[in-house]
Chains A and B, each alone.
Chain A
Amino acid sequence: MIMKSLTRRRVAVTAALSTLALGLAACSSGSSDDASAPLEGEVSGDITLLTPIFEGTAGQKLLEDELLPKFYEEYPDVTVSVDYTTYGNLNEKLTTAAVSGAVPDVMMMGVGWIEGFAERGLLADLSDLGLTEDELLKSYTPAIVDAGTWDGGVYAVPIMLDTRFGVARMDLLKEAGYDAPPQTWDELVEMAQALTVRDDKGTLERTGFDIMSLDSRQAFETMLFSADGDLFDDDDTAPAFNGPEGTSALQLMTDLVNEYKVEDIGFSSTDEAVNPLLNGRAAMGIAHNNLWTQGLEADPEMLDNLEPFIIQGDGQGMFFGGTLATRSATSKNPEAAQALLEFLASPDAALAANEQRGNVPALTELLDSDYVQGNRFVQFAMENLDVAKREGGPAEWLEVRGDFAPAVESALLGQKEPQDALDDLAGLVQTAIDR
């Protein structure tokens, strides 16, 4: 009876919000006799939330002054203590929490993180309280749902996405006689060469295709997906990035630097004060969706010249990461924790969180929102989420992901052949998986 009461309340909440929770209601009421039925009890208690988003005064106000009061209206017997952290130190925060047993009830973490923490038993299977994969698939694209699942269980619900795709400066392309971004790798190389500008001494003034302004791992992954490659095999037990697709992707990146002289090592970096696409030092490049937000601050008129595009090879190159909400497996108030998790993933809350950070909502239905329609990069990302691929896969991903950038950079620097660099990296990754 208590469970039915809980379900009724959730249905009432979601009348204006989400098909997600409607699905939960249907599922949970139908599974009341099941052995894995939701835990009984009132939705009450003191819970903790660990979040790398909602940071700063603006984020804190949004969460504590706008969103949580709405949550408390529905769940007056729940109290939420918020622990704000940064993405840069989230791993340390989670690790110390895990080893000490002081695990927050609800934790936000990144795409590719779920598998490792789920395998260690840190995360609860959300389907225990009714949030099944089938229900999520009604609201999210399969790849996004996949980012929150592991070993047949649902361990996370996506809230926001970070995407990376091609961006072209159309004003510079038109000057060079092109009226559209490249449609193939051959076109990409040809246009990048034509758009590259060097002075009389050969010093690079403008790169035709910038791959240095984002993390080398993510640049490689975007090109790998563009080659129709994958990071790992289907069951995530062996590397696949060193196959023909990965090798051709890294070969292309290496050729762009060393053979076609499209970009020099050190021309740009992840620490650059401004993305070179914004000040005309790059004609095309791989960029994060928040380039739009940066452009709004730096030079709003220039935004008309920015054109997003999928990097087309044998596949479609678009990368996504993001932030997902998880529930602790050891939470003393699992119903309250799950209620908060579902609330944060609900359309209104997720939209507000994405708008505050300029990110891409994961919920498909938010494509029509004013925010998405007003941000061309976010809109483009959402319209193409069905072709986007993510990083991660095996539980050891967090352990090995740091090895990717040195491997990619060793090829870009000419220290290793692309195939050798990827094979060596694959050896390291396989060792970690087999350990």
Chain B
Amino acid sequence: MALLTPAITPADDVRPAGPPPRKHRPVARTRNKVLLHVALMLGAVTMIIPFVWMIFTSVKSPAELAQYPPTFFPQEWHWSNYADALDAAPFGLYFRNSFIIATGHTLITLVVGSMAGYALARIRFRGREIVFLTLVAMLMIPTYTKIVPQFLIVKFMPLFGGNDILGQGGTGWLNTWWALIIPGGLSATSIFLFRQFYLSLPKELEEAARLDGLGEFRIFLQIYTPLIKPAIATVGLLTFQESWNNFLWPLLVTTTENLRVIQVGLAVFQQLDNTSWHYLMAGTTLATVPMVVLFVAAQKYFIQGFTSSGIK
């Protein structure tokens, strides 16, 4: 009873009118907090269980994987699965290649994409809206439909790989880092995201900078871009992740193992009608490590970026 009886305070005495005091406010607040945390914990567990399942599967034996009902915790921890998985393909080489390509894509996206986004957001020029709408339209084009045209551009790249000025006679960019890095280096999505971030910044900054005599490039580089660190982290991480997981394009434009990527290595464990789940999960666990490290490092900016860009 004592808990339900509110204490009378001086403030209560002087309140002349208005809504009645909310007697259960602290209790309700606590209850709401608990409910919120329970909901968030459920969401977190739902998200993390597949990840934990992947790690547990990576250390199980084929015999344990065959059991029904399936076990959650490994009965025996077969860490040797990791060594065996790494032996199944040249993962060191694949890892290096994936890292080079993902880093290349990310750098190109951050440099060129931010410039393009800035131009579309803050520089008035004739046809800007059409360019932007074209960019938005490009977001709708499925990746698969672009593969053959992109492949032809790469194959017939003039003056590369033995090709003449008309792109004939050689292999162009096929089997080169050019083919792996340039075509996927910039996406319409990243330009769109950068544009949205630059649009959200106040115009007064630009006007003040112009009064101080700054040119367009310095306004872009020194005034606006430092203010969109969340955008840089967000676009950078998304680009790196997409590039890291890329499988089909590197497979198509290369014919040598020296240029293959980590996802190609993982495909070794998935043969027709037979998947080596323990090795596949071991390899996948290792392949996710760089992404997890990157996310942890850029987590603060990443979440800010998602919040302010409205991506969920």
* A102 and B171 contact, CB distance less than 8 A: yes
Interface magnitude class on chain A: 35 or more
Q: Which A residues lie within 8 Å of B151 (CB)? A: 96, 99-100
CB of B283, distance to nearest CB on chain A (Å): 11
Q: Which B28-78 residues have a C-beta within 8 angstroms of A?
A: 62-63, 65-68, 70
| Chain B neighbourhood of A96, CB < 8 A | 147-148, 151, 252
User: Quick one: which of A92, A279, A294 contacts B147, CB cutoff 8 A?
Assistant: A92
**Chain B nearest Cβ from A353, distance in angstroms:** 13
Contact B251 A93 (CB under 8 A): yes
Question: B105: CB under 8 A from chain A?
Answer: no
Q: Which of B70, B255, B260 has the most chain A CB atoms closer than 10 A to its own CB?
A: B255
Is the CB–CB distance between B271 and A298 below 8 Å? no
Q: Determine which of B65, B251, B255, B268 lies in contact with A56 in the assembled complex, contact meaning CB atoms within 8 Å.
A: B268
B274 at the interface (CB under 8 A from A): yes
Pick out which of these stretches binds chain B: A4-12, A28-36, A81-89.
A81-89
Contact A55 B152 (CB under 8 A): no
Chain A residues with Cβ below 8 Å from B87 are 57
Residue picked from A56, A81, A299, most chain B C-beta under 10 Å: A56
Within 8 A of B (CB), among A87-108: 87-89, 92-93, 95-96, 99-102, 104
Residues of chain A contacted by B272 (CB below 8 angstroms): 87, 162, 288
Provide the residues of chain B in CB contact with A102, threshold 8 Å. Answer: 155, 171, 174
A81 to B254, CA, bound (A): 12
CA–CA, A280 and B68, complex, Å: 8
Residue in A84, A86, A293 whose beta carbon sits within 8 Å of that of B257 in the complex? A84
Question: Are A83 and B255 touching (Cβ within 8 A)?
Answer: yes
Taking a contact as CB atoms closer than 8 A, the residue among A278, A288, A297 that contacts B273 in the complex is: A288
Within 8 A of B (CB), among A259-291: 273-274, 276, 278-281, 288, 290
Q: With A99-B152, A162-B273 in contact, is A55–B268 under 8 Å at CB?
A: yes
Interfacial chain B residues near A92, Cβ < 8 Å:
147, 248, 251-252
Q: Which residues of A contact B159 (CB under 8 A)?
A: none
Is B267's CB within 8 Å of the partner chain A? yes
A273 touches B148 (CB 8 A): no
Instruction: List, in ascending order, chain A residues with CB within 8 A of B271's CB.
Output: 55, 87, 357
B88 within 8 A of A: yes
Which residue from chain B places its CB closest to the CB of A281 in the assembled complex? Answer: B68
The smallest C-beta distance from B260 to any residue of chain A, in angstroms, reads 8
The docked-state distance in angstroms from the alpha carbon of A196 to that of B234 is 53
CB distance from B52 to the nearest CB of A (A): 16
Per-residue A-contact encoding for B82-100, CB less than 8 Å = 1, 0 else: 0000011110000000000
Min CB gap B113→A, angstroms: 27
Docked pose: A290 CA to B275 CA in angstroms: 11
Please measure, in the bound complex, the distance between the C-alpha atom of A297 and the C-alpha atom of B78, giving whole angstroms: 14
Measured in the bound complex, the distance between the Cα atoms of B268 and A298 in whole Å is 19
Q: Hey, which chain B residues are within 8 Å of A1, CB to CB?
A: none
Q: B256 on the interface (CB 8 Å rule)?
A: yes
Given contacts A95-B148, A214-B273, contact A297 B62 (CB under 8 A): yes
Is B277 interfacial (CB 8 A cutoff)? yes
Residues from chain B with Cβ under 8 Å of A86 in the complex: 251, 264, 267, 270
Q: Is the CB of B256 within 8 A of A81?
A: yes
Q: Are B62 and A89 in contact (CB under 8 A)?
A: no
List chain A residues, Cβ under 8 A from B174: 102
User: Does A290 lie within 8 Å of B274, measured CB to CB?
Assistant: yes
Inter-chain contact A56/B88, CB cutoff 8 Å: yes
In Å, the complex CA distance between A56 and B279 comes to 12
A403 to B100 Cα, complex, angstroms: 40
Which of the listed residues B66, B68, B247, B248 has the most CB atoms from chain A within 10 Å of its own CB?
B66
- A57 x B251 contact (CB < 8 A): no
**Interface residue A48 (Cβ < 8 Å from any Cβ of B):** yes
Q: How far is the CA of A88 from the CA of B126 in the complex (A)?
A: 46
Residues of chain A within 8 A (CB-CB) of B147 are: 92, 96
Asked if B268 and A299 sit within 8 Å, CB to CB, the answer is: no
Partner of A48, one of B148, B255, B274: B255
Q: How far is the CB of A233 from chain B (nearest CB, A)?
A: 29
Scoring A residues 46 to 68 as 1 if CB is less than 8 Å from chain B, else 0, what string do you get?
A: 00101000011110100000000
| A354 CA to B291 CA, complexed, in Å | 38
Taking a contact as CB atoms under 8 Å apart, the answer to whether A100 and B155 are in contact is: yes
**Chain B residue nearest to A287 in the complex (CB):** B273
**A273 touching B63 by the CB < 8 A rule?**
no
Contacting pair B273 A273 (CB below 8 A) = no
A100 CA / B267 CA spacing, docked (Å): 25
**Known pairs A100-B155, A214-B273, A274-B65 / 13 extra A-B pairs, C-beta < 8 Å:** A57-B87, A57-B89, A58-B88, A83-B256, A85-B251, A88-B267, A95-B148, A100-B152, A102-B174, A104-B255, A274-B68, A288-B273, A288-B274
Q: What are the 5 closest A-B residue pairs judged by CB atoms, nearest first?
A: A298-B66, A83-B255, A56-B268, A297-B62, A288-B273
For this complex, 29 residue pairs linking A to B, each with C-beta atoms less than 8 Å apart, are A55-B268, A55-B271, A57-B89, A57-B90, A81-B255, A84-B260, A86-B251, A86-B264, A88-B270, A89-B247, A89-B251, A92-B252, A93-B251, A96-B147, A99-B148, A99-B151, A104-B255, A273-B65, A273-B277, A274-B66, A274-B68, A276-B68, A279-B67, A280-B68, A290-B273, A293-B274, A298-B66, A357-B271, A358-B274
